[in-house]
Amino acid sequence: MTAPNEGERVSELSEQTKGSSRRSFLHKASLAGVGIAGLGGLLSVVSAEAKAGVHSLSGAAKSGFDPGDREFDFPEGKKRDTNILIAAEIAEALAVTTYTNIINTSPFFGNIPSDDQGYLIAARQEEMSHYLLEQSVTDQPSPYTTFYYPPNMFADAQTTLNILVTLEDAFIAAYLVGVRNFSTPDLRVTAARIMGIESDHRTLARVVGPDVAAQDGGPINTITGIQGVPESAAPPNNNGYERTLCWNRISQAVAALTPFVDATAAASAGFDTSKPFNFEPFTPTLPSPLGAFVSFNGC
């Protein structure tokens, strides 16, 4: 089989620092409280975005999304909705950047089966679609577009899959915060719809592990996610229920993502701050029109 065509690759990035990491860097950083100074700055940005005024879905048409002829206003009393949406934009920009660099720079990507490559390519398209939808609601871009990762990210397959699953764990829990805390049923259902896709992505990342070629350190049979516990990659769909991580506030998700977006927090967490990666937006093409957003009604 021939791997699906991703189109033009983004600009080449430097080869990642060599070495091996078998632990979840994000897990260590969040549990140790590393990067709290960066968290304060990030939360203040999110809060400032929420206070910037009234936001609506008026930008949806510009992004190619149909809001279903509905408009949601987010006055000061509903700034929590905007806080969640801005945090989600940051997370989706990080996700797009992660998948882009796996596809374009990771040595193991070209050696995994073509269907696995297709999974990762489709995930990149879906994450970009999520970002544009959220941007259409807030009518503003992510306040963070430069991201940092642990050493050997993208170069080492084990590190890369550990961090990918860690991020998907965080995204799932963050959207469940939205399900819990959004102020309208339509936003809660939308958060649940996106969370379901992030769950697909977590599973597909675990599918890839055993398919990593021997020359790239495979097969990878255990993957460590956000909870810092190595878990067998078999079966890849190992959850009976999605993990909430006991998060009930969006600030907890922001805390987990801070080492990826703030240089000071990244350095404290042991990330490689010498190699920042930039978010490069694009127009996504979803794998199937039947899986498109359609409207906030969910129809």
Q: Which of these, 199, 180, 197, lies nearest to 188 by C-alpha position?
A: 180
Torsion (CA) 177, 56, 141, 11 in degrees, nearest 10: 100
Q: In degrees rounded to 5, what are phi and psi of residue 232? A: -60, 140
Q: Taking the model in full, what pTM does it have?
A: 0.81
Q: Which of these, 71, 65, 113, 281, lies nearest to 209 by C-alpha position?
A: 113
pLDDT over 70 (residue 75) = no
Determine what percent of the chain is predicted with pLDDT higher than 90: 71
pLDDT, averaged across the chain: 82
Report pLDDT digits (tens) over 183-215.
999 999 999 999 999 999 999 999 999 999 999
Question: Contact 223/216 with Cβ under 8 angstroms?
Answer: no
pLDDT over 80 (residue 78) = no
| Encoded tokens for 288 | 């199937």
Instruction: Please tell me the distance from the alpha carbon of residue 183 to that of residue 66, in angstroms, as a whole number.
Output: 21
pLDDT at residue number 5: 52
pLDDT over 80 (residue 110) = yes
Range of weakest confidence among 24-28, 147-151, 218-222, 236-240: 24-28
pLDDT at residue number 298: 77
Report pLDDT digits (tens) over 122-172.
999 999 999 999 999 999 999 999 999 999 999 999 999 999 999 999 999
pLDDT over 80 (residue 57) = no
Question: Contact 271/35 with Cβ under 8 angstroms?
Answer: no
Q: Is the dihedral of CA 244, 138, 73, 65 positive or negative?
A: negative
More confident residue, 26 or 85: 85
| Encoded tokens for 66 | 């149909």
Q: Is the dihedral of CA 120, 230, 279, 109 positive or negative?
A: negative
pLDDT at residue number 299: 76
Cis peptide before 219 (omega within 30 of 0): yes
pLDDT at residue number 144: 96
Angle, alpha carbons 146-150-151 (nearest 5°): 115
Report pLDDT digits (tens) over 223-234.
999 999 999 999
pLDDT at residue number 253: 95
